[in-house]
Every structure is written in C-alpha cells, then in structure tokens.
Structure 1
Amino acid sequence: MFKKLSFSPVVIAVLLSLALIFWLFSGDNYSAKADAPAEQQLPVIELSRVEARWSDAEPYQAKQIAQGQVLPWRTVSIKSQQAGTVEALLKQQGDTVKQGDKLLRLSDESRTALLAQAQANLKLRKSELESARTLGKSKFLSATELTRLESEMAKAEAELQTARLAVIQTEPVAPFNGVVDRRHIEVGDLIQTGTELMQLVQIDQLKVTAQIPQQHISALKLGQNVTLRLLEGRELSGTLSFISYAADTATRSFYIEVTVANPDLLRIAGGSATVEVQLAPVQAHRISPALLSLDTSGHLGVSVVDEQQQVVFYPVAILSADNDGAWVSGLPQRAQIITQGAGFVRAGDKVLVAGAKP
C-alpha cells in the first residue's frame, strides 16, 4: 500500500554533511554565549631610566672679575706761569718731593724790582688816603676826591698782589707729596707762559679703574675687598672706593675705582691688572659643565630628580668655570642631579634612577 522511499548514496551524503555543519555552528554559538570575554590587558608604560648623583651645596666665595688699569693716585703737569730763563733745577727726575717744595727757579726779569715799586706805591696811597680822611672830617675835602683816593688805594693793593705773585711763580712748587716722574726742560731754556716743566705723580697710593657689566653691578658695594693680580703674578689688596651712578652709553658698563696702598712705591702705575672683587659668600654646587643645558625658553640650567621621581629643570647662574668644573647657584641645598640621560627626558617626566628601587 505504501510505496517504499529510496535515496541514492549521493543524496544521503549531502544530507549528512549539512547536518554536521549545522551541529558545529550551533556548538560555537552556545560556547560564545556561555563563556565571558577575556579581560583586555592595558599596555605597560616603561619609565625612562637615568643616572644621577646627589650633590650638596657648599659656601662659595663669589668674585666679580674684570680687567683694570693701574693709575697714580694723583698726577699733574707743572706748567710755567711766567716767561723767563731756567736758572736752576732744584729737583730732578725720580726725586721724592713734599708739598710746597720748590722744583726749579726762573730768571727774575725785574719782577723783584716791580714788587718793590708796588710796595712803595701802596705805601704812598695809604698815606694820601689817611690825610684825605682827616681833611674830609674838617670839610676841606670833597666826597668825590675821597672816593678817588680810595680807588687808587685799591688799585695799588691789586698791583702789589700781582707783583708778589709774579715773584712767587718764578719758583714753582709741588702741589702735593709725590715723585718727579718727568722733566721737560734744562737749565738755560727760554720758556713762555704755559710751557710744560715737569710731571709730578703720587704713587704711595694707587687708583685702579675698571668697567663692570650692568648685569653684575648690583652685587658690588663700596668698601668691598678687592684683589689685584698684576701681569707679573704679584698680588695686591685694595678697597672698592667708587661706583659710577650711570652706565657708559656705548658699552652699558659701570665705571669703578679701587684704592690700593703702595707704601713701597712699586713701579706699576700705568700698567694693567686683573680686578677681583670679593662678593658675599653664596651657596653653590660644583658640577661638570657638560651637565648644563638649555630649556625651551633658552635658559641655562640643570635637570634634577625630585622626591616624586619627576624631572625638574632649575635655571642656574654660573659663578665661575674652569677645566675641572663649574660653580653654579640656583639649585636646592641638596639635589639629585641627572648625570646621564637628561637629553632624553623633559621637565615633569617621571623617571627611574639607575640603582634606585622603582
């Protein structure tokens, strides 16, 4: 009654394959729904490693160094105030003189005679004036005549002063204690008013001048100790005695003067010297110049690691530098200075210091 169904082997194989594929996909879907997704792992950020060393600040005797000129404390050119012939040289080159010592003598040229005449004339005018005043009291002399005689008296006094000064000026004197450094005349020379006779210098005390850049002038104070180093290697001590109130408009530097005692009369005036002004001690670190770098703003400084293991850039000022190192100010009293790797980190970066626990 029923007809028996029959399938070919090919159809049976296709059906079995479809059933197997369905079973496989249904199993994967169930597994995906039953198993929770694995937790995602965040990427590990590795900190930069640097090398650093601890440095403690030390008292540093700061100095301001400049090139200076050594000058006599005072110098003057003695010039003739009268014309005449040189009759005698009372002081020679190199002689030490005291204030008021006569240096030379000029010919008289009738100046003494003119002085005597002026004295006699003044004596006469005085006598005339005294007689006139007596007559004036008796109403025998007019007021006008009395005034004329007083004028003549004043004129005679002035002529006497001029004649006396002319005689004095034939023997020029030293205006201060010093040394005759140069002599420009010889005995027998005929000179005129204004002729240069001698040059006198005072060198028992010296004056050293220098120029200080405007950025360093605030560190200078009157009375500070100064060390002078001469080219020959000799050292002298002095005191800062003057600081100009206005900078040179061309160089933007300030003029200073240093007072130096020279009791041995050393022949150093006119030479040059290195001026070292002793400033107040400051706390500073001695580091290698290779540790200095510039930040993005162009400031010179040093990179250190703080307590939070972060990089901090400190601007510094170089106090002095040589082949062995540099003294800088501006760092904390105790600082962990980066010695290797500073070029690969920036301010604010967290770092690992080699040898330290992370």
Structure 2
Amino acid sequence: MRFFPLLAAAILAGLMYLAIFERPSLMAFFGSDAEEAEETATPDQAASAVPESTQLVRVVVKTLTAQQIDSAVVLRGQTSAARQVDVRAETSAVVVSEPLRKGASITQGQEMCRLDEGTRQAALAQAQAQLSEAQSRVPESESRVLEAQARLDEALINQNASSRLNADGFASTTRLASADAAVAAAQASVSTAQSGLRAAKSGIEAAQAAVAGAQTELGRLVIKAPFSGLLESDTAELGTLLQPGALCGTIIQLDPVKLVGYLPETEVNRVTIGAQAGARLAAGGNEVRGKVTFISRSADPQTRTFLTEIEVPNPDLAIRDGQTAEILIASAGADAHLVPQSALTLNAEGTIGLRTVDATNTVQFQAVKIVRDTVDGIWVTGLPAQADVIVVGQEYVIEGVQVAPTPWEATQ
C-alpha cells in the first residue's frame, strides 16, 4: 500500500533535481538555447537588440491651426431695476385716499396718496390777504417819498437864494442859517420816506414768501408718482397718519432693466462703453441682449473688481429684478485654437496648458488661456499659429522627452 506514494516522491525528487541542477542541459535538450540566451542577456544587450522606435512612448498628435474668433468677457451678475424709489410724505396729515395695491401699473404724475388739508387753505387765504395789504402800502410810501423830495428841492432853492443875498449884503446871516436848517430837515424827511418805502416793499416780499409757503404746503398734500412703473408695495392705508418721511409707497421701473456685474481688473480694459452684450438668465434660461452703459472708474476695495451695467429692453416686463444671469460682453477678436477639453493638462507649477511635439518629436509644454467653452471643444490662446498638440497620452510624458507621435487622422 506504501509503494505508490514512495514512487511518486522519487519521481518528484528527480524532476526537481533536473530543474535545478541540470537546467542548462535540459534546456539544450529541448532546443531552448536561443530563449535562454535572450533571458540571460544583460539589459544593455537587450536594449541594443530592440529597435529604438519601439522604446519611445506612443502618443496621438493633432495638428491645429489658429483661427480668428470673436472673444468675449464672461462674468456672473444679476438683473436690477432701472429705477426704484420709496415715495415718502413731506408733511404731517391723515391719508384721505383709497390705497393702491402692489403690482398695479402706475404712470408718472398719478396720485398715490392724498392727505387731509386741514387749515392749510385758510393759512393760504391769510397769507394772500397780508400780501394785498403790503402791496397797498407801497403807493402811499412812494407818494411820501415824492413829497419829501419836493420839500428838499424847495429848501435847496431857498438856501441858494439866501446864500446869494447874504453874499451881496441883502440878507442876514440868520436867514441863511434858517435856510440851511430847512434843507437838513427836508433831507431827513426824504430819508424817512425812503425807509418807509423799503419797509413796504419788504412787507410785500414777506407776504409773497408766506403765500408761496402755504401753496407749497397744500401741494404736499397730494403725493404723486415721480415716474411710470409698478407698485412694489401697497400705498398708505386710508386714515393713516403720515409724518414727514413716512412711506406712501414703493415704485419700481423694469423697462429697461439693467444687468449688473463686476469685471476683474485683468479684463476691465477689454470692455468699452457701448459694447454689445448678452446674458442667459438662470431662471428659465432666457437669453437677452443689450449694450454696456457704465463701467466704474474705481474698483471695489474688497474684491478689486469694477462695477459694470448693461441696459436691456424689457417691454413685456418678463425680466424681474434680482435674477441671476451669466453675462457675455463682446470684445476684440483673437487668434485661437479649438482643442479637445481632454487635452488640457497641468505642469509641475500647476499652470494649465497643452503638451505639444516639435520638429524633433520632443515634448514641449505650452501655457494657454481659455477664451470660450463650446460643445465642440475649448478655444484657447497662447499656441503658435500651427501646433502639433498631444491629444492622447499627454499625461504619460513630460517636457523634454522624445516620443513616437501618431497622427490623429490615422486613428479615426
């Protein structure tokens, strides 16, 4: 019963002896000298026996030529109403008009809130009466001035006559002194009359100011819309007491509407006033077009970006205030290459770019700048006019190594 296990052990021992100690003879017996020689050859001998082209990394290369494209500056922003104002009261009174409800259309000059006039009409009548009284005093004051001026002229004539008579010895010195005193009194009378006339005119101005104030106060009782738009809030409720500064209602104007975004300082010089712009709204994906109307001259101190506004027509009021938008602003064209997105890579410094091959099939790294993303690929700048770009295998080679390029067309 133990014969077969012993036989199997002996056969296994013999095979192991031949495989370990008699391996060269055994390989020669089976005709494997060439294979053994290949296996036992040194690495340098093996490398010299293999053709050089089989040692290079194979990559797929696509030859790209630059094309002129319209570049655009892309930024994110939001829609904003062209105008929005809180209409407030300028005087204190009770609201006596029915309120307008939010969402209603309103035109410029339309009444929003009417306030109780109270005694303001009586105050206007009183101011007008005072004005009439002041105006009636002016003719009387003017006549007094004329009368005083006539007396002064008469006194001057008497003084002149007395002076000549006294010089010829026909009038006494006392008479001349009396004539001088009469002139002085007449001059004082003229000054008094002129003061009375000025006071009368000042009274007219004060009365006119009182009338204007009363009329202005009455005008403040009717609060009107400063421009056409939509009500964003109900107007003040009937019976509400409004104090100066209290809110009557909020108006918003959405036609035209503004697109507001912030340009980075690296892109601000590429955009000009009047440039064409478009935007895709986040809500619904609607696309709108307009023109750049404003670029800030000062940067935001926190973000170092520049406020930019674009005016867009909105006749149907479909665009709302505060919607998120992706904005594209047209700028000068540029020479760019259309490359597959998968061809982009990073170098050791983290710079985005493409790996290319030169005339000697040596790998080069070219830093690029993305201009536009499309469904067919990515438009980039920074490459020569014609470049052989590695589109397959770029992650397995580094700059300076030699590769075995295969044209893109040969793989299709």
TM-score tier, shorter chain, comes to 0.7 to 0.9
1:242 corresponds to which residue? 294
- Give the Cα separation in 1 of the matches to 2:140 and 2:230: 54
- Give the Cα separation in 1 of the matches to 2:60 and 2:399: 15
1:128 to 116, 130, 137: 137
**Structure 1 residues 224 and 267: CA distance shift in structure 2, 3 A:** closer
Letter paired with 2:341: P
1:63 corresponds to which residue? 72
- Give the Cα separation in 2 of the matches to 1:224 and 1:306: 40
1:317-328 pair list within 5 angstroms:
317-321=369-373, 325-328=377-380
**What runs of 5+ residues in structure 2 fail to find an aligned partner?**
1-47, 149-188
1:207-222 pair list within 5 angstroms:
207-222=258-273
- Give the Cα separation in 1 of the matches to 2:263 and 2:407: 46
- Give the Cα separation in 2 of the matches to 1:245 and 1:283: 29
1:134-283 pair list within 5 angstroms:
134-139=143-148, 141-230=192-281, 231-266=283-318, 268-283=320-335
- Give the Cα separation in 2 of the matches to 1:119 and 1:308: 101
- Give the Cα separation in 1 of the matches to 2:254 and 2:61: 55
Identity %: 28
Deviates more, 1:325-334 or 1:304-313: 304-313
**Structure 1 residues 67 and 297: CA distance shift in structure 2, 3 A:** closer
Deviates more, 1:148-157 or 1:67-76: 148-157
Say how many residue pairs are matched. 313
C-alpha contact 2:99 2:238 (8 A) present in aligned 1:
no
- 2:114 is paired with a residue whose SS is strand
C-alpha contact 1:300 1:316 (8 A) present in aligned 2:
yes
C-alpha contact 2:369 2:382 (8 A) present in aligned 1:
yes
- Give the Cα separation in 2 of the matches to 1:353 and 1:176: 69
Letter paired with 2:128: Q
1:105-124 pair list within 5 angstroms:
105-124=114-133
2:83 corresponds to which residue? 74
- Give the Cα separation in 2 of the matches to 1:301 and 1:272: 31
Letter paired with 1:284: A
- 1:151 is paired with a residue whose SS is helix
- 1:184 deviation in Å? 4.1
- 1:328 deviation in Å? 0.9
- Give the Cα separation in 1 of the matches to 2:96 and 2:311: 39
Deviations 1:31-57 (A, max 9, x none): xxxxxxxxxxxx999685543111123
Counterpart check, 1:95 vs 2:97? no
C-alpha contact 2:363 2:403 (8 A) present in aligned 1:
yes
Counterpart check, 1:344 vs 2:377? no
**Structure 1 residues 249 and 333: CA distance shift in structure 2, 3 A:** same
- 1:215 is paired with a residue whose SS is coil
* Structure number with higher helix proportion: 2
2:162 corresponds to which residue? none
- Give the Cα separation in 2 of the matches to 1:300 and 1:355: 24
**Structure 1 residues 103 and 216: CA distance shift in structure 2, 3 A:** same
- 2:195 is paired with a residue whose SS is helix
1:33 corresponds to which residue? none
TM-score normalised according to structure 1 size = 0.77
TM-score normalised according to structure 2 size = 0.68
Letter paired with 2:291: T
- 1:158 is paired with a residue whose SS is helix
- 1:311 deviation in Å? 4.2
* Structure number with higher strand proportion: 1
- 1:75 deviation in Å? 1.0
Query: RMSD in angstroms over aligned alpha carbons?
Result: 2.8
- 1:309 deviation in Å? 4.7
Letter paired with 1:85: V
- Give the Cα separation in 2 of the matches to 1:355 and 1:104: 78
1:84 corresponds to which residue? 93
- 2:273 is paired with a residue whose SS is coil
- 1:59 deviation in Å? 3.7
- Give the Cα separation in 1 of the matches to 2:121 and 2:314: 42
C-alpha contact 2:100 2:235 (8 A) present in aligned 1:
no
**Structure 1 residues 238 and 170: CA distance shift in structure 2, 3 A:** same
- 1:352 deviation in Å? 4.9
Letter paired with 2:234: R
C-alpha contact 1:185 1:197 (8 A) present in aligned 2:
yes
- Give the Cα separation in 2 of the matches to 1:46 and 1:142: 124
**Structure 1 residues 94 and 131: CA distance shift in structure 2, 3 A:** farther
Deviates more, 1:45-54 or 1:153-162: 45-54
Letter paired with 1:105: R
Deviates more, 1:298-307 or 1:155-164: 298-307
- Give the Cα separation in 1 of the matches to 2:302 and 2:308: 16
Deviates more, 1:241-250 or 1:175-184: 175-184
- Give the Cα separation in 2 of the matches to 1:134 and 1:310: 112
- Give the Cα separation in 2 of the matches to 1:195 and 1:284: 59
Deviations 1:203-253 (A, max 9, x none): 221122112222222221111222222212222212111111121111111
- Give the Cα separation in 1 of the matches to 2:247 and 2:357: 71
Letter paired with 2:112: L
- 2:266 is paired with a residue whose SS is helix
